[in-house]
Amino acid sequence: MGTPELKKAGFDAIIIKDSSPIPVYLLINDGKIEIKNATHLWDKDTGETQKIIRGELADDKIRIAQIGPAGENLVRFANIVNELKHFNGRNGLGAVMGSKKLKAIAVRGTKPIELYNKERVSQVTKEITKKVMDNPLSRDLRELGTPGVIRPSYEAGCLPSYNLYLLLI
């Protein structure tokens, strides 16, 4: 669930203060918030959880941020996975959700996003776009994709192609 989806649902942020005695997930849908039982989702991996939630809600467009078994078991570096492809890792927020027995946050929003100063946003967007388009690295990435960084990384000796030694400390 990206910030745009949350904003389209009518919210800027979510603050979870307490924990639940049983596993739950939040359903946020166009200004309404529901706490749903998630006992049947506990111990399920993220792919299966997303499939089940979307099936229960009969909505393939719902966006889901969730935890897997690591978060449920309070692993200190557990991630939150968003849409099965974006991960908030290395800081243990998945364990925080797990400690609250919060399996997932499912969000669906259809409201338009209103901008405070549409003209200024448009102006800044154009300025940033021009800077990005004029940057040689951006140009190379557009033309070659991420494989375009392989040769410069190799030439700089940053790839583990030859004589890589790992230091175990």
> Which position has the token pair 């996975």?
81
Res 61 pLDDT > 60? yes
Q: Given a cut of 60, is residue 7 above it in pLDDT?
A: yes
Which pLDDT score, from 0 to 100, does residue 164 have? Answer: 55
State percent of the chain over pLDDT 70.
Answer: 92
Q: For residue 1, what pLDDT band results from cuts at 50, 70 and 90?
A: low
All residues at 6 or more sequence positions from 134 whose CB lies less than 8 Å from its CB, including other chains: none
Range of lowest pLDDT (20-24, 106-110, 113-117): 113-117
**Does the pLDDT at position 21 exceed 80?**
yes
Give the model's confidence band at 161: pLDDT under 50 very low, under 70 low, under 90 confident, else very high.
Answer: low
Q: How confident is the model at residue 58 (pLDDT cuts 50, 70, 90)?
A: very high
Sheet holding 63-66, edge to edge: 32-37, 24-29, 102-108, 63-66, 80-82, 86-88
pLDDT of residue 107: 97
Domains of the chain: 3-108 (3.60.9.10), 118-155 (no CATH)
- pLDDT tens sequence across 63-78: 999 999 999 999 999 9
Q: Tens of pLDDT along 129-149?
A: 999 888 877 777 778 777 777
* pLDDT at residue 72, rounded to an integer: 98
